[in-house]
């Protein structure tokens, strides 16, 4: 149903997609919305392609985003951005981390990494925000905070109050990692 917001978070197992979706879900809950989200753990965690779905609004039934209906896709890796492109709705926003991780078929030479994913998406007229979030994360203390940098970019596209984001980050992160992640989040927002 169009009045709900649907966001897809795609990446590679181990990149922190699940944590990002958890924080986003908490923020929507704090805003008094119905929330559903879906993720898959297990075998795909081991370096495989992973995707989590987050949906919020007045009343949400399905925890899954249907193809052609994502308002925003947040991709942690360029190939994964292309893979989940069919989920993006017309005029939806693609937020993509400019990182390329070679999948095993590419490493073994059985397949090729696609050429210029960001250029291909821009060429299709897709609204796109491409950013090297790992580099920004590294600047703030840890390249692995790329997921929170991307959340900062996402926050600018959604109209939730800042304190909900701060609270959700506080509730989801270990105390010793909080300051660094808050800085990473703000760096994302500043882009």
Partner 1 sequence: MTKYELLSGNEAIARGAYEAGVKVAAAYPGTPSTEILENISQYERIHAQWSPNEKVAMEVAVGASIAGARSLASMKHVGVNVAADPLLTFSYTGVGGGMVLVSADDPAMHSSQNEQDNRYYGLLAKIPVLEPSDSAEAKEFTKKAYEISETFDTPVILRTTTRVNHAKGLVAIEEPAELAVKDYEKNPPKYVMTPANAVGRHKVVEERRLALTEYAGATELNRIEKGSGADGRIGFITAGISYQYLKELLPEASFLKLGFLWPLNEKLIKDFAASVDQVIVVEELEPVLETQIKAMGVRCRGKDIIPRQGELSEEVLRTVLGKAGLPVAAAAQPEYASSQKLPMRPPILCPGCSHRGMFYTLKSMNLHVSGDIGCYALGSAPPFGCLDTTICMGASITGAFGMELARGEEFAEKCVAVIGDSTFFHSGITGLIDIVYNQGRSTIIILDNSITAMTGHQDNPGSGKDIKGMAAPAIDIEKLAESIGIRRIRVVDPFDLKTCREVLKEELAAPEVSLIIARRPCALHIRLKNPPLHVDQEKCIGCKACLKLGCPALSVTDGKASIDPLVCVGCGLCPRVCPTKAIKAGQKAAEEAKTNE
Under the rule (CB under 8 A), what is the footprint of partner 1? Answer: 1, 12-14, 22, 25-26, 29, 34-49, 60-64, 66-69, 79-80, 82-83, 85-90, 92, 101-108, 110-115, 117, 120-121, 124, 126, 134, 143
Q: What tokens does 71 get?
A: 């308002």
Report the C-alpha gap between 146 and 150 in whole angstroms. 6
Report the C-alpha gap between 54 and 63 in whole angstroms. 7
What crossing angle do the helices spanning 162-172 and 146-157 adopt, rounded to 10°?
A: 160
Closest distance to partner 1 from the beta carbon of 14 (Å):
8
Closest distance to partner 1 from the beta carbon of 96 (Å):
13
If the CB atoms of residues 119 and 190 are measured against partner 1, the closer one turns out to be 119
If the CB atoms of residues 102 and 190 are measured against partner 1, the closer one turns out to be 102
Report the C-alpha gap between 136 and 187 in whole angstroms. 7
Closest distance to partner 1 from the beta carbon of 133 (Å):
12
If the CB atoms of residues 143 and 190 are measured against partner 1, the closer one turns out to be 143
If the CB atoms of residues 116 and 190 are measured against partner 1, the closer one turns out to be 116
Closest distance to partner 1 from the beta carbon of 12 (Å):
7
β-pairing verdict for 88-97 and 70-75: parallel
If the CB atoms of residues 83 and 186 are measured against partner 1, the closer one turns out to be 83
Provide φ and ψ at 170, rounded to 5°. Answer: -60, -40
If the CB atoms of residues 59 and 190 are measured against partner 1, the closer one turns out to be 59
Q: Which of 143, 119, 124, 122 is nearest to 132 (CA)?
A: 143
Closest distance to partner 1 from the beta carbon of 181 (Å):
18
Closest distance to partner 1 from the beta carbon of 67 (Å):
5
Q: What tokens does 149 get?
A: 């940098």
Ramachandran area for residue 59 (φ above 0: left; ψ -120 to 50: alpha; else beta): beta
- In three-state secondary structure terms, 8 is strand
């Amino acid at each position: 149903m169009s009045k709900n917001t649907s966001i897809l978070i795609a990446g590679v197992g181990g990149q922190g997609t699940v944590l990002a979706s958890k924080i986003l879900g908490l923020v929507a809950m704090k805003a008094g919305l119905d929330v559903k989200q879906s993720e898959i753990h297990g075998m795909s965690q081991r370096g495989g392609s992973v995707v989590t779905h987050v949906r919020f609004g007045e009343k949400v039934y399905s925890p899954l985003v249907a193809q052609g209906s994502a308002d925003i896709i947040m991709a942690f890796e360029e190939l994964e951005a292309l893979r989940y492109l069919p989920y993006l709705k017309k005029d939806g926003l693609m937020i993509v981390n400019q990182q390329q991780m070679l999948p095993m078929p590419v490493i073994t030479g059985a397949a090729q990494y696609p050429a210029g994913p960001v250029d291909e998406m821009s060429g299709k007229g897709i609204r796109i925000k491409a950013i090297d979030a790992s580099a920004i994360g590294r600047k703030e203390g840890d390249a692995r905070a790329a997921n929170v940098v991307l959340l900062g970019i996402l926050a600018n596209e959604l109209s939730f109050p800042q304190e909900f984001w701060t609270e959700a980050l506080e509730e989801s992160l270990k105390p010793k990692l909080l300051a660094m992640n808050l800085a990473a989040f703000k760096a994302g927002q500043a882009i």
